[in-house]
Copies of this chain bind each other. A is one copy, B any other.
Amino acid sequence: MTTTQPTRRDGEATRQRLLRAALELYTTVGFRATTTPAIAARAGVAEGTIYRHFSGKEHLLNEVYRGAQHWGTAVVQETGGEAGVPGRLLQIARRLIETAARDAAQTRMLLRRRDEQHLDERSREAEREFRNALQGVVAAGRSGGVVRQGPAELWTDVWLALVAFIAERVGAREWPPEAPPVSMALDAAWDAIAAR
């Protein structure tokens, strides 16, 4: 038996539970409707405990948001290898969609476009990193002539809008992650930005 650290009352677990509770609430009802009583109840702690780990509701939102953006950035960075740009985008989309099937909240948090007024500078920076990582892939496609002419930023956003749409459906359990509409919509996403 490898005991898990001499335990020291472990406030880290509480922190994680709070982050998870907030993530789930934010992505289902939005920031305003996510109340501190609800977060605490879902995390199974007292309301005051939130403030031992975060300076406030907004701080908690930002931590959660940042986590999702970092994860998204990692997803982009981990793909690649021998695949060409279309294949790499497909890998990324598949990873996001698979995750959405298991954990709708995380993907939703990554792709959502809401409550931006409550995000701080570091969060926006994390978002930019994710976008830039993805845009790097698209720009490579543009250079290679497989992506349409025009700003890579535009095609990144177009492609992402469609992937977000698919992930939302999968996250909502309307589509299984391997169902035909997913593949069809992924084809459409590529065709939207592919050079003709």
Contacts and interface: CB of A to CB of B under 8 A. Distances in A.
Interface of A: 29-30, 32-33, 114-115, 117, 148, 150-151, 154-155, 157-158, 161-162, 164-165, 180-181, 184-185, 188-189, 191-194, 196
A65 to B, nearest CB: 16
B184 A148 contact: yes
Contacts of A32: 30, 32-33
A185 B150 CA distance: 10
B192 A188 contact: yes
Q: Which residue, A154, A157, A188, A193, has most C-beta atoms of chain B within 10 A?
A: A188
A158 to B, nearest CB: 5
A158 B148 contact: no
Contacts of A157: 165
Contacts of A155: 188
Nearest 8 pairs of A and B residues by beta carbon: A32-B32, A192-B192, A188-B192, A161-B165, A150-B184, A32-B33, A158-B188, A191-B191
A38 B162 CA distance: 35
6 contacts: A30-B32, A148-B188, A150-B180, A150-B184, A161-B161, A191-B191
A192 B193 CA distance: 8
Given A191-B192, A192-B192, A196-B191, A114 B30 contact: yes
A150 to B, nearest CB: 5
A115 B188 CA distance: 28
Contacts of A194: 191
Contacts of A164: 161
